[in-house]
Structure 1
Amino acid sequence: MIRIGIAGIPYGAKGKGTEAGIRYLRSQGLDAMEIQFGRNVYMTPETAKSVAPVAREERVDLSVHAPYYVNLSSKTEKTIEKSKDWILKSARVGAALNASVVTIHAAREENLDLVISGFKEIVEDLKKEKISVPLGLETMGDLGEFGSVDDVLEVVRKVPGTGIVIDFAHIYARTDGGLNTVEDFTAVLDQVAGAGIDHYHIHFSGIEHKNSREVRHLPLDGKPDFSLLARALLKCKADATVICESPLLEEDALKMKQIIAGLEP
């Protein structure tokens, strides 16, 4: 099964809140939404508990995105501790939402040991609170920062309770346009499956990049080519959730859905 959704509140329900956003997405034929805590965790677990039944009723898969400022490889202990706190707060809300994953920009600098130790501590803290929601490390769009598929899967191997969020636009940027065939996308999916992961949580959009570094997200009609990913997902009969991060949100998410429908036998 391939679910398609968006990052944030759909444009058709702006200003009306999360519950209205969920209902609107479903009315449009979409079935996933990432609740974004870009600058702060604005939702409480108590509020999340009232949102969860709406998502369940509408059959919309929820995920959350932790604040963008997380950096577990920071040179300052204060930043690392604040990052852990943001992840813990996001996970508490994610658990109350029955979210499928908490998406995290784990680190900036390449320091695998710090990232692994940070996540081990976070997972232990969540266990003490009896919270079990997957922590998904997102692949990142800058060759100079932590966040390659190899980086993330190394954490996944060493820290139970963590997983990977495959951002194909970011991979395209950090490889300087390296996803150009169905086989290129399939290779990434196979690598993730080889780590024992049986559900793909995916971010996708067009992207502008320069010198193996992302510049900005773009609408779907650019590069990388979503139809190549769609073919790869159908080829491997994937169970996947694809979150559209295009500036056009639900408009491009619906294009994704149409592309997949046009390729299905």
Structure 2
Amino acid sequence: MVKIFLGPAGIPLSTRGKGSIEGVKRVKELGLNAMEVEFVQGVKMSVDTAKELGGVAQELGVRLSVHAPYFINLCSSDQEKVMASQKRILDTAERASAMGADAIAIHVGFYGDYTPEQCYSLVKDSLLVVRDKMKENSIDSVKLGVETMAKETAFGTLDEVISISKEVPGVIPYIDWAHTFARQGGNIDYDEILDRLTRELGLTHINSHFESLQVRKGKYVDVHEPISKNAPPFEPLAKALLKRDISITLICESPKLEEDALIMKGVLESLGYKLG
């Protein structure tokens, strides 16, 4: 039977207090059971605060994941930028480990001056370096999630993230369903993707984002919209999940955060699934 962890990307907009701890409490109040901690503008949380946050989340039954900073490019031709990117991933992983988060979402880089094949090699080398440093620091419970990306200039096709997950231990795909939908020209086959993740990688838990994207000149672009836009539609994904014996985290990256997460919850309930 499927097990679904659903919640917002960051602190719910309706949270009365400040900070991620209050955010997790609000997630629980809303009847949701997951939250992605956002380090997108930098890793500013202390390890001690991360530990405290993890304790509260565990007590309330809220599953945590983390989003690494946007300022990461493992395909940069500037080695200093690559090393700084590796450090940001490592710093994120350290906090993720302290709070008991299972995975971090990473925008790993842009092709830039390189071919996709050259960029793939650079990303692989950097992730191996980060994994070695994580091992040295006894960070062994956190998966590095290479996110699927919407922009054609970015590393992150479905094939790329699956392939690199096969090659680097501790690396998984972090599936952004809308990004994949856009990258595939406004098409997505949820069953096919879920089958690939379980068959090719043997995943028993999938980490993912869900939102809708804006259309400009007939093309889907990486501007997040409320899920009511149906780009891509959520209900077919819900139906595909409910046919499977799998665990998944669905993080709502819509601008409406918890409002849309609750709509997603309502869709699941209408199909007979009760969020635990």
Give TM class, smaller chain.
Answer: over 0.9
CA distance in 1, matches of 2:221, 2:194: 21
CA distance in 2, matches of 1:72, 1:15: 36
CA distance in 1, matches of 2:34, 2:182: 25
CA distance in 2, matches of 1:51, 1:236: 31
Counterpart residue number, 1:238? 246
Q: Deviations over 1:92-138 (max 9, x none)?
A: 00000000111111111131000000000000011011111111111
In the TM superposition, what is the alpha-carbon distance from 1:76 to its structure 2 partner?
A: 1.1
Counterpart residue number, 1:193? 198
Q: What does residue range 213-228 of structure 1 map to in structure 2 within 5 Å?
A: 214-222=221-229, 223-228=231-236
CA 1:106–1:212 in 2, change beyond 3 Å: closer, same or farther? farther
Is 1:256 equivalent to 2:264 in the alignment?
yes
TM-score (norm 2): 0.91
Contact conserved, 1:174 with 1:212, CA < 8 A, in 2? no
Report the AA paired with residue 207 of structure 1: L
Q: How much is the aligned-residue C-alpha RMSD, in angstroms?
A: 1.3
Regions of 4+ moved over 6 Å: none
SS in 1 for 2:227: coil
**2:41 paired residue among 22, 39, 42:** 39
In the TM superposition, what is the alpha-carbon distance from 1:143 to its structure 2 partner?
A: 2.3
Counterpart residue number, 1:3? 5
CA distance in 2, matches of 1:236, 1:144: 33
CA distance in 1, matches of 2:47, 2:168: 25
**1:90 paired residue among 89, 92, 96:** 92
Please list every run of 5 or more consecutive structure 1 residues that lacks an aligned counterpart in the other structure. none
CA distance in 1, matches of 2:71, 2:219: 21
Counterpart residue number, 2:187? 178
Is 1:137 equivalent to 2:146 in the alignment?
yes
Counterpart residue number, 2:208? 202
Report the AA paired with residue 93 of structure 2: A
TM-score (norm 1): 0.95
Please list every run of 5 or more consecutive structure 2 residues that lacks an aligned counterpart in the other structure. none
CA distance in 1, matches of 2:22, 2:196: 37
